[in-house]
Structure 1
Amino acid sequence: MVFRIFISILLTWLGSILLGHTQTIQGYLLDKKTNKPIPSASVLLKSAEDKIIGFKPSDSNGHFTINASKASTGAYLEVNHLGYKKIIHKLVNFQEEVSLLMSPNSTLLDSIVVKSKPAIQRHGDTTAYNVEKFATGMDRSIGDVLKRMPGIEVSENGSIKYQGKPISNFYIDGDDLLDDRYSIGTRTIPHKMVEDIQVINNHEHLKVLKNKRFSDNVALNLVIKNDAKLKMTGEVKLGAGIPKLYDTEVNSILFNKKFKMLNVLQGNNVGKNLSSDFIGFNQASILAKLGQSPINNLLSLGTIGNPAINATYYLQNNQGSLNANNLVNLKKDWQLKSNIQTMYGGIKNNFKGTTKYLSSGSIIEMNEIQEAKTTDWLTSLRFTASKNTEKQYINNQLAFEYESEEGRADILSNNLRNQGQRDHKIRGFSNRFSYVPKIKKDHIIDFNWQMDYGNKPQTLTLIPGVFPNELNQGQAYDASIQYVEVPTLFSTANLGYRIPNKTIIQNYSIGALIDKQNLNSHIAISENGHQTNLLQDSMQNAMDWSRYQITAKAQYEWIKKRFSIQLDLPFSLQYTSYQDDLFHIDENQNKLLFTPSFNFKYFIGTEDDLQFTASRGNTFGNIENVYRGVLIRNYRSLSNNIADINENRSNRYSLDYRLARTLKMMFFNAGISYSQSISSSMMADEITENSSQTQLIDRENQINTVNARVGFDKFIFSLASSLKLAANWSMTDYNRLFNQELLAYKQFNYGFNSSIETKVWKSLNLSYNGSFNLSDNRQVQAGPDQSRKTFHINQNLALPIYSFNALYLRFAARHQFVQQIGMNDINYVFLDAFARYRIKKLNTDIELNLQNLANIKTYETYLINANIEQHNQYQLRGRTAVLKAVFNFK
C-alpha cells in the first residue's frame, strides 16, 4: 500500500513538470432540493471561444476533476444531466473548488425507439427493473417476476420487501389503487402489461411534504406499457378436478391515466383461502383492531393452529369472493376510489394433537382430536376521495366491515367428548380524514382525524357442560353457554405546524384521543332443557372502560449532504378509568408520558447507507386486561384478571446497513436490534389434565430480545440466475408463571434461507429455495431434560421446462424434515407436477395441476414455546388433479 501511494505521488509530480502550466478544476455537483450528490453528469470545460478543452463525468459522490493546460480568462464549465437543468458556471479562480447546485428538470422527449434497455438502472432514489429482462415464458403474473428480481422479496402471503424492508405503498402507474391489500394485484396482473418495476427509496406519498420531512419508506410502482393502457384486458379461468374439485376465476383489468380497475370474481375448493385477500400489510383492518390496541376474538373452538405447509395440501375449503377495485382521476387533481370485497364460504379442519406442559416436578399431558367446520361471510367496503398536489393534500376514507361466522366442532380431549358451537358477528365502521395545505413561506399545516366504531358479540356453546366444579357445584350438566361483547369507540385528532427551514425542519403538533370500551358477558348453563343464567358476580362482567389522552410533540429534522437526523419529543397526559358495579370497582389512573425517538441516517455513498434508531415506548393495556368476571375461552380454558392496568415500558435500539450496486445487480443488507420490555403484570397459568385457568396478576415481567440478520441478493450474468441468501439469529429472555412456579427461559433461534433459479440447458431451468432453522429453548437453572432443541428443514426443488414456445412443464419436490431430541424424526417429500399448453390462435391456455402425487394423507409437526410442547397431526387432502382452461381476452 505504501509503495502504491509513493508511485502515485511520483507520477503526479512528474506529470506536473511535463505539463508545465497545467491547471486543475475540481468540484461537487449536488441536487438543489435534497443536497444529495449527482453522479454520471457530463462536465465540460470550455474556452471563451466555446471550444471544449476538458471533459470529465462526475463520480458516485458527485465529484469531478478536470486537468487542462489551455484554461484562460473567459473559460467556463458546462454541466449536463438528463434529469437536471443545464448549468453554465464562469471560472474566476481556477484553483478554488466549486460546489454547483443543480435543479431537477423534466424533459418531454420526442418519440424514440429503444433497441436495448438495461435490465436495471438507478436514477436518484428510484431503481427501475426492466420486467422483460427478468421474465420467462413460464411466468403469468407480475408476482412471479418479482420473486426473481434481486433485492426484492415476496413472502408466501404476498407481502413485498425491498432489502429486508416492507414496502409502504404499491402503486400502479403512480396510483394507489389497492391500498395495502395488494396481494390480489401481484397474483392477478399479467407481467406482460408491465414495462418496469420502480422501487422508490425515501418515498413520500404526500407531494406537499416531499423533501419537507424525513422519510425512510420504500414504495413500489408498476409502470404499465402504453399499448396495455388502450383497452380492457382480463381472463376467464374454468377448472375442475378430482376428487370433486373446482377452481374458477373471472377478472377484468384496465389501467389508463383517467380510470383504473382491477375486479376479480373467484371461487374454489382446492385450498386457496380467499380470506387472505382481506389482509392489510401496513394498516390493521377494523375487524382486527378496534380502539388504540387490538381486542382479539375472546372465544374460540379449539387450541391448535394451522400447519406450516402449503394450504392447498390441507385446507378443505369451499369459498367464493368478489374483489372490486376502481379508481377515477377527475379534473383539478381529484381522485375517487372504491374498494369492495366480500367473501362467503366454509372451511373444514381435522386434526389431533398432544400438548405437554413441563415443570420441574411433573409433566401434564393433554390429548385432543378435533373435527371443525366454519362458515364465514366477510364484507369490506372502502370509499376514498383525495387530492394530492404540491400545494395541498386532502384525503377522506370511509370504511365499513362486517363478519358473520358460525363454527362447529367435535372434540375428544383426554377421552372426554365435547361438541362446540361458536357464533359471532363483527360490525364496524371507520372514517379517516387528512388535510395538509401549504401556506405562506412554504410552511405547512397538518390536520388528521380518525374515528372507529365496532362491536364483536360472540357466543360459545359447549355440550356437555364444562368446568362443573367451578360452574355447577361439582354436578355434571347438559351445556354451558358463554356470551360476550365488547363495543368500542375510538377517535383521535392531531393538528401540526411544519416549518421547513433549510437548516432544521421543525414540526410542532397537538393531539387528543378518546378510547371507550364496554365488556359485557354472562354464563348460562342448560339442564334438562332449561337454561339458567349464573347470577354470581364472578361469572359476569359489566365493565365500562375509558381512556383520554392529550399529546404535544416537537419534531426536528436536520438534513445535510450525507446524513439526516430526526428527533421526536412527544409528551402525553393520559387519564384512564374503569368501573364495574358487580365487583365494586371504580379505578382511575393519571400518567404523564414521555416517549422520545431518534433516527440517524448516514449516506456512505449514493447507494450505501447506515441507519441507527432508538426509541422509548410506554403503552397500557385495555379492558381485556382488567375485567374480573370469569370467561370460558374454549372447552378447556377459563380466564379472568386480578391485576390493575398493565403498563409496558420498552426501549428499542437498531442499527441497519444497506448496500446496492445497481449496475452489477448486487444488493446487501444487514441489521441488529435490541429491545427490552418491562410489564407491570404477567399471565399466571394453572394447568390440570383436563382444564386450564389463566389470570393476569400484578407481578413485574421483563422480556429482552436481540435480533441480527443479513441478506444478500445477486444476479449472476454468466448463469442467467438470481441468487438470494439470508441468515438470522435471535435470543429472547423471558419468564413464565406456571402452576405457581416462576420459570425463566432463554429462546435461541438460528435461521438460514437460500434460493436460486438458473438455466441448466436451453429450455431447462432449475429452481431451488430452502430454509434451515434451529430453535433452542432453554429453561434457566434447570436440568438438561427441561431444554428442547428443534431442527427444521424446508426445501423446494423445481425443474421448469419451456419448449416449442407453447408447452411449459414443471416438476416440483417439497421436502420437510423436523428433528427433536426424545421424539421421532418427521420426514416428508411432497411431489407435484404442472403442465401448460398455449393455443395461440384461440389466445387460450390449458393447464393441468397435479398435487401430492405421493398421496400423503397425514402430516405431523412439533411446536415448542416455553414449557409447552405440542405434537400435532393434521389430515391432508391426498392426491389431487385439476384441469383448467384459461381464456385471455383484450
Structure 2
Amino acid sequence: MAQRLLLTITALLAICTMCHADGHVCGIVTDEKGEAMVSVVIKVYGAGNNKMLKYALSGKDGRFNIPVKDEWLPAKLTFSYIGYRLKEVTVSDTRSDNKITMTEEALSLKEVTVKSAPISSHGDTLLYNVAAFRSASDRNIEDVIRKLPGISVSENGTISYQGESINKFYIEGLDLLSGRYALATKNISPDDITSVSIYENHQPKKVLKDISFSEKAALNLKLKKNRMLKPTGTVTAGAGYGDNVLWKGELYGMIIGTGSQHLVTVKTNNDGTAYGNETRMLTAGGTSYTETAAWNIFPQNPFGSASVPKERYYNNKSVSTSVNSLFKTGENTTLTLNADYQKDRNSYYNSKFTAYSTGEGEYVTVDEGNNSMTDAQEANLYLNIENNGEKLYMAERLSMRGRFRRNRYDLSGKGLPTEVQRTNDFGISNSMNGIIRKNDRVWQFSSDISFANTPLNFIRATMPGQQTATVYQNAEGLNFHTHEKTSFSWIVSSRSDLSLNVSFKSDYDRLNSIQTVPGNNAGNDNCGYKLVSTAEPAYQYNSSRLRLTFSLPVEMYDVSYKDLISQSRFILNKPFVGLRATVRYRPHGHTDINISVGKSTSTGGINDFIINPIYTTYRTATTLGTGVLSVHNTLYATAGINYRNSLDGTFATLHGNYRHTQSNILRSSNVTEDKTVADILNQTNTAHLWNIYSYAAKNFSAADMVLSLTGNITSTKRNVVRQGIGYGVTNSNYDIELSAVNRFFGDIVSTSLSCKYMLSVQDMGIISTKNKINSLTGSMKMSVFPIKALEIYFSPYYSMTKQHGTAAISNLYVDGGTRWTGKAIEIELALKNITNRKEYTIRTFRENDIYSYSYRLRPAEAVITLKLKF
C-alpha cells in the first residue's frame, strides 16, 4: 500500500515539474511615486509581428508573472491602464526582474459607449456581468448562474466553483441566509442583479486573513442601485387541471439595505413543484446539529426513489414558509434570524424488481409493487450573532429543529404487507466561536454543544385482512454532543507561521429497540460514550506562488459502551497518529496546482454494539454491530489543476483522488425470496476508491454562447459476503456531459442543451461476472420570442438505459408553454408531460445487486399562473 501511495505522490509531483517547461517574464508595475499598480493590462506580442500571444493583469502587489515560450523572444510587452500613457518594452530573456513605471496622462473622451466585459478579474475576485449572460427566458438568478463558465449548480441547488462547493453565499457582502442560499437563487429575479462575484480561496473570517487559507470560493450577488432600499418580490396565483384540480400560491419578498436585509417566502401547491431544496443547508458549518442513532435506522425511501425530478411522479400537497432577517448592529457586527417550516404530503406508485446476487453467478429475485403515502414536516430556527473584525472574531449561534414523519406503504405482490412508519425527532444546539489576534499571536477557541432526541420511531407491517402486526420494530434514542477547540498561532515571519490546535470531543448515545415478530422477539438497550482528545501541531508557509501546510494530529480515544441487557461493557483507551500535508502552487495568475496527502483514523460508535437484529423494512433484518468497536485506517492522496482566464472566458479543472481504507468489519448478508438478513463480521476488510473529475468551459461572447464539458470517473472496490461466500465487488461509473447555452438574433431565440452519457460496470471478481449498464440522457429548452414580451417555449427530456443482454429502456417527456411579461405583471400557461407519458423505468447497480424501478408518472397537466411583480 505504501508503494502505491508513493507512486501516486511521485506522479502528482511530476505534474508540478511539467509546469516549469517554459520561462516566465516577471516584474512589478508602479506609478511615478513608486506605488504598486493593480490590474494593469499586460499584453505579450511575438517578435516582428503584431499578434497577441498572451495577456495578464498585475496583481495586488503590482507584480506580474507571465509564462512565455523561448521562440517568442525577443517579445514586445505593452502595459495599459486608464489615465496612464501606454508603455511598451522589449524583453529578450526570462532571467531579469523588470520594473515598469507608468506615467499619468490626461484623457479627453468624446461620445464614448462603455460596454462591460462579460467576465473580469481583480486579484482573487472574479466578476460576472449578469447582463452579458442572461436571456429573457431566465426565471430566476439561478438560471443565470448555471450558465456562468467555471460555475456549476447541482440538482438540489448546490453551487460549485471549479468542482468545489462554495463556502459562503453573500448578498451585498452579507450572509443573510446562513447557508440556505437556494432561497435566494430560486426566487431573486435576474432583473434585480447587476453582477455575480466569485471570491477565490475565500476566508470568511477577517481576523484570519493571511493566516488560515481556504481552497473554496464564495459567491456574492450585487444588486442594481435602483433595487436597493426598496421592497422587491412577487405574488403568484395559479390553477390548472390534470387528473385533479391543481392550485399554486406563492409570495416572495426581499428588501436589501445598508443596515439590514430581509427575505420572506410563503408557498403552497399541488402541481408537483418541490420546495424542500430551498430551505436545505447547502454550506458546511451552517449548523452543529448531531443526530441520534435511532433517526437513521429506518430509510426514508425504503422502496426506492427515481433519478428524475420528484415533480414528475409525486402527487403532492406542499407548504413552505421562511423568514430571514439580518441586522447590522455595528461596523463588523450582525444579528441574523432564520426560521422555516415545511410540510409535504406526497403519494406515488412504483414497482421494484431486485436481483440479489448469490455470489455464485445466480440471483434471488424479488418483485414488489408499492403505493407510497408520505407525510413529512420539519421546522427550523436559527439565531446568529457575529462580530467579524480584523482583530476580534466572535460568533454565537443557537439552532432548534423538529422533524416528523407519518408514512404508509401499501405493498402489492405475493404475500406482501402494508408497512407504516412513525417518527418524531427533536434537536437543539449552540455554537460559540472566538478568535483574538494581537500582533503576531492568534488565539482561537470554540464550543459546540448539541442535544438530539428521537422519542418515537417505529415501523409496523401488517398482512392484508389481519389485525396483528407480522413485524413491529421500535427504535428510540438520544445523543448529547460537545466539541471544544482551541488554537494558538505564532506568526514566525511574513510568510510562515506555527500553530497548535487542541480539541476535545465527547458523544454520549443511547439506543433502545424492541422487536416483535411471530415466534421471535429481540431487543437492544445500549448506552455509552466516546471521548476524543486531539493535539495537532501545524506549520504553514505562504508566498504569492507557493502555499505549504503540514500537520500531525495525535488523537486519544477513550471509549466505553454498555449493553444493558447482557450487562457487558466494552472499554478502549488508545492513541492514533495522523498526517496531513497540502501544497498549493501558482505558476502564474491563471493556474493553481494543489496536492494533498494524508493518513487518518476513525472509529465507529454505539451502532457497533447493537448486536441483535433490527428490522429496517418488513423483509430486511439488519444487525448493526459485532460488539467490537470498528476502526477505519485511511490513506489518501489528491491532486488538482485549476485554470481560469477571465479575459477570454476560459475555465478548466482536473481533479483526482485515491483513498485506501482498511477496517476490522466486513458486511455480510443472506437473501431468500422472503427475507434479507444483514450482518457485520469481525474480519479485516480493505476498500479502494478512485475518482477523476474534469471540467472545461468557454464563453464565446461574440456568439452569445457558453460551452461546458464535464467528465467524471469513479471506481470503488470492496469485499462482501453473500450467502456465506466472500468475494470482491468493483463498481465503476464513467460519465461525460456536454452542455451548451446559446442566444440567437439578439435574444429572439435562446436554447439550452445538455447531453450526458454514463457507463456503469459491476465486476464480481470471484465469479468472473461483469454487468454493464449504459445510459444516455438529453434535455433541451428552447424559447422563442416573436415579440419582446411574449415567450413560447418547449422542453423535451430523453433518457435511455440498457443493461448488457437485455432490451433498451427509453423514456421521453415533453413540457412546454407560453409566457407574457409586462412591466409589473406576468401570465404563464405551463403544459407538463404533453405526450402524457405514463411510466418511467430505470435500471441501476447498488453494490452487488441490480435494481429495476418503474414509476407511475403524473399525467398531462396544464397550469395557468398570474404573477405580480413589485
Q: State the TM bucket, normalised to the shorter chain.
A: 0.7 to 0.9
- Evaluate the alpha carbon distance shift between residue 503 and residue 364 of structure 1 in structure 2; reply closer, same or farther with a 3 A threshold: same
**What is the one-letter code of the residue matched to 2:634?**
S
Query: In the alignment, which residue of structure 1 is the partner of 2:719?
Result: 735
Counterpart Cα distance in 2 of 1:361 and 1:121: 58
Query: In the alignment, which residue of structure 1 is the partner of 2:595?
Result: 612
- Evaluate the alpha carbon distance shift between residue 302 and residue 655 of structure 1 in structure 2; reply closer, same or farther with a 3 A threshold: closer
1:255 corresponds to 2:256: yes
State the Cα deviation string for residues 478-517 of structure 1 (Å, max 9, x = none).
Answer: 4432211120000011111122331321121211111000
- Evaluate the alpha carbon distance shift between residue 184 and residue 744 of structure 1 in structure 2; reply closer, same or farther with a 3 A threshold: same
Query: In the alignment, which residue of structure 2 is the partner of 1:809?
Result: 792
**What is the one-letter code of the residue matched to 1:778?**
D
**What is the one-letter code of the residue matched to 1:754?**
L
**What is the one-letter code of the residue matched to 2:651?**
F
Query: In the alignment, which residue of structure 2 is the partner of 1:88?
Result: none
Query: In the alignment, which residue of structure 2 is the partner of 1:62?
Result: 64
- Evaluate the alpha carbon distance shift between residue 42 and residue 617 of structure 1 in structure 2; reply closer, same or farther with a 3 A threshold: closer
Shift of 1:275: 2.4
- Evaluate the alpha carbon distance shift between residue 525 and residue 738 of structure 1 in structure 2; reply closer, same or farther with a 3 A threshold: closer
Counterpart Cα distance in 2 of 1:163 and 1:683: 36
Shift of 1:459: 3.6
Shift of 1:284: 7.5
Shift of 1:381: 0.3
Query: In the alignment, which residue of structure 1 is the partner of 2:127?
Result: 128
Query: In the alignment, which residue of structure 1 is the partner of 2:304?
Result: 305
Contact 2:582 / 2:595 at 8 angstroms: preserved in 1?
Answer: yes
Query: In the alignment, which residue of structure 1 is the partner of 2:510?
Result: 518
What RMSD over aligned residues (CA atoms) do the two structures have, in Å?
Answer: 3.1
Contact 1:483 / 1:521 at 8 angstroms: preserved in 2?
Answer: yes
Shift of 1:446: 0.5
Structure-to-structure mapping, 1:407-556, within 5 angstroms: 407-413=407-413, 415-439=414-438, 441-464=439-462, 478-500=469-491, 501-524=493-516, 539-556=522-539
Question: Which of 740, 749, 753 is residue 756 of structure 1 equivalent to?
Answer: 740
Contact 1:301 / 1:422 at 8 angstroms: preserved in 2?
Answer: no
Shift of 1:453: 0.6
Structure-to-structure mapping, 1:9-158, within 5 angstroms: 27-28=27-28, 40=40, 62=64, 115-158=114-157
**What is the one-letter code of the residue matched to 2:362?**
S
Shift of 1:197: 0.6
Counterpart Cα distance in 2 of 1:58 and 1:710: 26
- Evaluate the alpha carbon distance shift between residue 361 and residue 116 of structure 1 in structure 2; reply closer, same or farther with a 3 A threshold: closer
State the Cα deviation string for residues 186-214 of structure 1 (Å, max 9, x = none).
Answer: 00011111111110111110011111222
**What is the one-letter code of the residue matched to 1:309?**
V
Query: In the alignment, which residue of structure 1 is the partner of 2:817?
Result: 834
Query: In the alignment, which residue of structure 2 is the partner of 1:68?
Result: none
Structure-to-structure mapping, 1:214-225, within 5 angstroms: 214-225=213-224
Count of aligned pairs between the two proteins: 794
1:867 corresponds to 2:848: yes
- Evaluate the alpha carbon distance shift between residue 241 and residue 629 of structure 1 in structure 2; reply closer, same or farther with a 3 A threshold: same
**What is the one-letter code of the residue matched to 2:483?**
T
Counterpart Cα distance in 1 of 2:445 and 2:416: 57
Counterpart Cα distance in 2 of 1:285 and 1:371: 36
**What is the one-letter code of the residue matched to 1:418?**
P
Shift of 1:277: 2.7
- Evaluate the alpha carbon distance shift between residue 479 and residue 668 of structure 1 in structure 2; reply closer, same or farther with a 3 A threshold: same
**What is the one-letter code of the residue matched to 1:155?**
S
Query: In the alignment, which residue of structure 1 is the partner of 2:351?
Result: 352
Contact 1:405 / 1:425 at 8 angstroms: preserved in 2?
Answer: yes
Shift of 1:101: 13
Instruction: Find the residue that maps to 2:200 and give its secondary structure.
Output: strand
- Evaluate the alpha carbon distance shift between residue 549 and residue 465 of structure 1 in structure 2; reply closer, same or farther with a 3 A threshold: farther
- Evaluate the alpha carbon distance shift between residue 366 and residue 30 of structure 1 in structure 2; reply closer, same or farther with a 3 A threshold: farther
1:770 corresponds to 2:755: yes
Instruction: Find the residue that maps to 1:625 and give its secondary structure.
Output: helix
Counterpart Cα distance in 2 of 1:598 and 1:253: 44
Shift of 1:727: 1.2
Structure-to-structure mapping, 1:206-245, within 5 angstroms: 206-243=205-242, 244-245=245-246
Counterpart Cα distance in 2 of 1:57 and 1:869: 52
Question: Which of 756, 760, 766 is residue 781 of structure 1 equivalent to?
Answer: 766
Counterpart Cα distance in 2 of 1:400 and 1:36: 50
Counterpart Cα distance in 1 of 2:753 and 2:777: 11
Instruction: Find the residue that maps to 2:276 and give its secondary structure.
Output: helix
Shift of 1:273: 2.4
Contact 1:36 / 1:562 at 8 angstroms: preserved in 2?
Answer: no
Query: In the alignment, which residue of structure 2 is the partner of 1:597?
Result: 580
Counterpart Cα distance in 1 of 2:495 and 2:235: 57
Shift of 1:323: 1.2
Shift of 1:99: 8.4
Query: In the alignment, which residue of structure 2 is the partner of 1:574?
Result: 557
**What is the one-letter code of the residue matched to 2:247?**
Y
Instruction: Find the residue that maps to 1:823 and give its secondary structure.
Output: coil
Query: In the alignment, which residue of structure 2 is the partner of 1:668?
Result: 652
Contact 2:361 / 2:767 at 8 angstroms: preserved in 1?
Answer: no
Q: Which ranges in structure 2 are unaligned for 5 or more consecutive residues?
A: 1-24, 44-54, 67-78, 85-94, 102-110
- Evaluate the alpha carbon distance shift between residue 643 and residue 150 of structure 1 in structure 2; reply closer, same or farther with a 3 A threshold: same
1:700 corresponds to 2:681: no
State the Cα deviation string for residues 26-81 of structure 1 (Å, max 9, x = none).
Answer: 943599xxx999652799xxxxxxxxxxxx997686169xxxxxxxxxxxxxx998
Instruction: State the TM-score, normalizing by the size of structure 1.
Output: 0.85
Q: Which has the larger radius of gyration?
A: 1
Shift of 1:163: 1.3
Counterpart Cα distance in 2 of 1:687 and 1:420: 20
**What is the one-letter code of the residue matched to 1:498?**
S
**What is the one-letter code of the residue matched to 2:453?**
N
Contact 1:844 / 1:887 at 8 angstroms: preserved in 2?
Answer: yes
Instruction: State the TM-score, normalizing by the size of structure 2.
Output: 0.86
Contact 1:488 / 1:517 at 8 angstroms: preserved in 2?
Answer: yes
Counterpart Cα distance in 2 of 1:339 and 1:874: 36
Shift of 1:706: 1.3
Counterpart Cα distance in 2 of 1:101 and 1:585: 77
Contact 2:290 / 2:479 at 8 angstroms: preserved in 1?
Answer: no
Contact 1:288 / 1:295 at 8 angstroms: preserved in 2?
Answer: no
Query: In the alignment, which residue of structure 2 is the partner of 1:531?
Result: none
State the Cα deviation string for residues 640-672 of structure 1 (Å, max 9, x = none).
Answer: 232411111111111100111110011111111
Query: In the alignment, which residue of structure 1 is the partner of 2:168?
Result: 169
- Evaluate the alpha carbon distance shift between residue 844 and residue 698 of structure 1 in structure 2; reply closer, same or farther with a 3 A threshold: same
Instruction: Find the residue that maps to 2:312 and give its secondary structure.
Output: helix
Query: In the alignment, which residue of structure 1 is the partner of 2:4?
Result: none
Question: Which of 823, 830, 847 is residue 849 of structure 1 equivalent to?
Answer: 830
- Evaluate the alpha carbon distance shift between residue 682 and residue 38 of structure 1 in structure 2; reply closer, same or farther with a 3 A threshold: farther
Counterpart Cα distance in 1 of 2:806 and 2:302: 22
**What is the one-letter code of the residue matched to 1:451?**
I
Q: Which ranges in structure 1 are unaligned for 5 or more consecutive residues?
A: 1-24, 44-55, 65-78, 85-95, 103-111, 467-474, 528-533
- Evaluate the alpha carbon distance shift between residue 357 and residue 129 of structure 1 in structure 2; reply closer, same or farther with a 3 A threshold: same
Contact 1:796 / 1:813 at 8 angstroms: preserved in 2?
Answer: yes
Query: In the alignment, which residue of structure 2 is the partner of 1:388?
Result: 388
Counterpart Cα distance in 1 of 2:289 and 2:517: 30
Counterpart Cα distance in 1 of 2:754 and 2:30: 42
- Evaluate the alpha carbon distance shift between residue 736 and residue 231 of structure 1 in structure 2; reply closer, same or farther with a 3 A threshold: same
- Evaluate the alpha carbon distance shift between residue 57 and residue 235 of structure 1 in structure 2; reply closer, same or farther with a 3 A threshold: closer
Contact 2:840 / 2:854 at 8 angstroms: preserved in 1?
Answer: yes
Query: In the alignment, which residue of structure 2 is the partner of 1:10?
Result: none
Instruction: Find the residue that maps to 1:305 and give its secondary structure.
Output: coil
Shift of 1:798: 2.1
State the Cα deviation string for residues 802-834 of structure 1 (Å, max 9, x = none).
Answer: 232200111111110111123221111111102
